[in-house]
């Protein structure tokens, strides 16, 4: 019985089903019903927006009148800004009037051919706006969105203030809309006009017109501000000295342009330097440079405003005159030699020598008089010299140069003697050499004296090798760098044309390295 009773309860009679269906339909109708109070509220908002639009339009017309008046007074400067204003005004009117036509089409769709936007009868009509603005019966909503996008990009590009630009972009936004509880987004036109009562759609379009007029007014205000900047209507005006160079060569000219920030090309300032008025109207200051050194000058700038008042700003500056400078530096193919002082010439064109500093890796770099001395340490590594210069009060890196570090080459031995003119000369072997000069020499010296280097070495010891009649070698050891008594005795026994060799020469240079250097042949003359 329980099962039968449950089945009876689960079944529903046709009459009960009809009652439930009617309830659902009535509930839906109530949900779609829009009260007269709400519709009248939209009408009141529409009237308020219409009045606001008229007020904003009048304000924008006043701004346009100011731009036109300024252009009539100063066409050279005003025409540029007036042309922009005319373009903004034309595009605004075009979009505004286009929206007016859409409002008229929607009202006539709801009330018939005689429909009046100012007196809507079918305010609650839910189809009129969608029929005009949305597919499949109309597609004006998409066209309106594209026009708003183009207008928004145009006017936003004329605004400098980022906050005002953001306000305009937000007010004229056409981004897709997502209703609460819905997963998918609606297009801008669907959120505006789908199932929207006629009077509400008209109110939304009037609000859009209000935003368009607001954007137009912001641009016109910006254009007036731009004109005012050219008329010294700013809160900070300074004088500037713009020299072509603060450092010049003696005998040339020092040139500098002295200007005022936001200068008006139609109202040239008057410039005074050291109490004397410049004899040109573009602020060019030139003075001869007969001597080197640093020279200061100062003065002031006067400019007459539109109201006849005089604005005065002071300035001061300086310039440096240096002697003509040309540096020719042999860098030995960008090579440094370890253990010795390598002379380096460093110069920066246009910068005084006292304003230049330099540093070096893998060794030390010291300034000595008018040049620099580099002393590298590690052979096979690289030295990098970095140069900085003080220019206009700031220290700036002006370049770097790398040098390879090599070991000094071996020196060559020689015998020092006095030539016929009494000056020291060097006998390096391979030709005749008189016994008298040999005996007067006293010993053996060594040095590097090629085209790049001239470095003396200290001879520590050497041997002389003589040959007897049988061809046997007879070596004799020196007394340090000097000939020994036994060597001198052998020299005296040598006949004309005889030869001997100076071998096993040991010498040390400024790098502290002891070297075995090449032997030397001596021919007695």
pLDDT at 10: 43
Placement of tokens 């003697």 in the chain: 417
**473 within 8 A of 466, measured Cβ to Cβ:** yes
Q: What is the pLDDT of residues 173-198, one digit of tens each?
A: 999 877 665 667 889 999 889 988 99
243 in the same domain as 370: no
- On whether residue 3 sits in a domain, the answer given is no
**480 within 8 A of 456, measured Cβ to Cβ:** no
**463 within 8 A of 517, measured Cβ to Cβ:** no
345 in the same domain as 263: no
361 in the same domain as 253: no
105 in the same domain as 44: yes
Least confident of 22-31, 349-358, 360-369: 22-31
311 in the same domain as 218: no
Q: Average pLDDT in the 358-362 region? A: 93
Distance CA 58, CA 400 (A): 67
Share of the chain above pLDDT 90, in %: 45
> In the numeric block, which tokens belong to residue 218?
């912001």
pLDDT at 283: 83
Q: Average pLDDT in the 9-16 region? A: 48
453 in the same domain as 397: no
DSSP class of residue 304?
Answer: E
Report the predicted TM-score, pTM, of the whole model to 2 decimal places. 0.43
**Who has greater pLDDT, 524 or 306?**
524
Residue 328 has pLDDT above 60, yes or no: no
Q: How many CA atoms lie within 13 A of 75 on its CB side?
A: 1
- On whether residue 21 sits in a domain, the answer given is no
Select from 124, 60, 65 the least CA-distant residue to 88.
60
Q: Is 434 helix (H, G, I), strand (E, B) or coil?
A: coil
204 in the same domain as 67: yes
Distance CA 407, CA 415 (A): 25
314 in the same domain as 266: yes
End-to-end CA separation in angstroms for the chain? 155
391 in the same domain as 307: no
pLDDT at 348: 80
Task: Give the pLDDT band (50/70/90) at residue 343.
Answer: confident
**518 within 8 A of 508, measured Cβ to Cβ:** no
Last residue within a domain, chosen from 200, 230, 260: 230
For β-strands 310-322 and 520-524, DSSP reports them as unpaired
Q: Average pLDDT in the 310-324 region? A: 79
463 in the same domain as 505: yes
Share of the chain above pLDDT 70, in %: 82
pLDDT at 116: 93
What are all long-range contacts of 330-334, with beta carbons under 8 Å and residues at least 24 apart?
Answer: 330/452, 331/403, 332/452, 334/401, 334/402, 334/403, 334/404
Q: Average pLDDT in the 519-524 region? A: 94
**368 within 8 A of 438, measured Cβ to Cβ:** no
Q: What is the CATH number of the domain that holds 352?
A: 2.60.40
Last residue within a domain, chosen from 406, 439, 459: 406
Q: Average pLDDT in the 457-469 region? A: 94
Task: Give the pLDDT band (50/70/90) at residue 29.
Answer: very low
Residue 493 has pLDDT above 70, yes or no: yes
Q: What does pLDDT average to over the chain? A: 83
pLDDT at 180: 62
**385 within 8 A of 360, measured Cβ to Cβ:** yes
Q: What is the CATH number of the domain that holds 268?
A: 2.60.40.10
The dihedral formed by the CA atoms of 280, 285, 288 and 294, expressed in degrees to the nearest 10 = 160
pLDDT at 236: 59
**408 within 8 A of 384, measured Cβ to Cβ:** no
Q: What is the pLDDT of residues 102-149, one digit of tens each?
A: 999 999 999 999 999 989 999 889 999 999 999 999 899 999 999 999
Range of the domain at 274: 239-322
Q: What is the pLDDT of residues 203-244, one digit of tens each?
A: 889 889 999 999 999 999 998 887 765 455 444 567 777 776
288 in the same domain as 437: no
46 in the same domain as 166: yes
pLDDT at 128: 93
Overall domain count for the chain = 4
Q: Average pLDDT in the 6-31 region? A: 46
**416 within 8 A of 426, measured Cβ to Cβ:** yes
What is the DSSP secondary-structure string of 324-355? Answer: --------TTTEEETTS-EEE----TTS-GGG
């Amino acid at each position: 019985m329980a099962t039968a009773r449950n089945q009876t309860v689960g079944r529903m009679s046709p009459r009960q089903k009809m009652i439930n269906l009617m309830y659902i339909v009535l509930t839906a109708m109530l949900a779609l019903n829009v009260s007269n109070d709400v519709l009248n509220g939209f009408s009141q908002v529409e009237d308020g927006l219409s009045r606001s639009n008229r007020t904003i339009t009048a304000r924008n017309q006043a701004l346009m009148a100011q731009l036109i008046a300024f252009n009539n007074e100063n066409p050279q400067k005003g025409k540029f800004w007036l042309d922009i204003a005319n373009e903004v005004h034309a595009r605004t009117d075009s979009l505004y009037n286009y929206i007016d036509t859409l409002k008229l089409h929607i009202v006539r769709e709801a009330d018939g051919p005689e429909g009046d936007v100012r007196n809507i009868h079918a305010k609650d009509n839910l189809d009129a706006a969608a029929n005009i603005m949305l597919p499949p019966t109309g597609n004006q909503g998409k066209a309106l969105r594209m026009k708003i996008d183009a207008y928004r990009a145009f006017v936003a590009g004329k605004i400098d203030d980022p906050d005002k630009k953001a306000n305009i972009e937000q007010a004229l936004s056409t981004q897709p809309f997502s209703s609460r509880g819905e997963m998918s987004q609606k297009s801008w036109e669907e959120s505006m006009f789908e199932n929207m009562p006629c009077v509400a759609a008209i109110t939304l379009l009037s609000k859009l017109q209000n935003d368009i007029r607001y954007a137009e007014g912001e641009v016109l205000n910006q254009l007036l501000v731009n004109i005012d900047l050219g008329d010294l209507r700013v809160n900070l005006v300074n004088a500037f000295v713009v020299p072509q160079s603060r450092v010049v060569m003696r005998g040339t000219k020092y040139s500098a342009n002295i200007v005022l920030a936001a200068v008006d090309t139609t109202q040239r300032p008057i410039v005074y330097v050291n109490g004397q008025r410049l004899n040109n109207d573009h602020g060019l200051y030139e003075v001869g440079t007969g001597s080197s050194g640093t020279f200061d000058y100062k003065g002031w700038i006067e400019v007459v405003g539109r109201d006849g008042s005089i604005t005065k700003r002071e300035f001061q500056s300086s310039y440096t005159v240096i002697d003509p400078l040309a540096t020719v530096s042999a860098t030995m193919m960008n090579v440094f030699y370890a253990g010795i002082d390598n002379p380096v010439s460093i110069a920066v064109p246009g910068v005084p020598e006292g304003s230049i500093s330099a540093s070096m890796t893998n060794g030390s770099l010291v300034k000595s008089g008018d040049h620099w001395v580099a002393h590298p340490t590690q052979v096979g590594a690289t030295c990098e010299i970095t140069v900085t210069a003080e220019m206009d009060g700031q220290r700036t890196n002006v370049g770097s140069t790398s040098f390879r570090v090599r070991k000094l080459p071996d020196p060559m031995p020689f015998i020092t003697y006095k030539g016929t003119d009494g000056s020291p000369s060097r006998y390096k072997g391979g030709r005749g050499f008189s016994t008298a000069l040999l005996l007067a020499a006293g010993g053996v010296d060594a040095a590097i004296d090629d085209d790049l280097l001239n470095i003396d070495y200290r001879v520590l010891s050497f041997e002389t090798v003589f040959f007897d009649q049988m061809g046997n070698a007879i070596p004799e050891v020196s007394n340090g760098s000097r000939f020994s008594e036994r060597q001198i005795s052998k020299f005296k026994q040598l006949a004309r044309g005889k030869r001997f060799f100076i071998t096993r020469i040991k010498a040390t240079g400024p790098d502290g390295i002891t070297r075995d250097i090449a032997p030397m042949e001596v021919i007695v003359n």
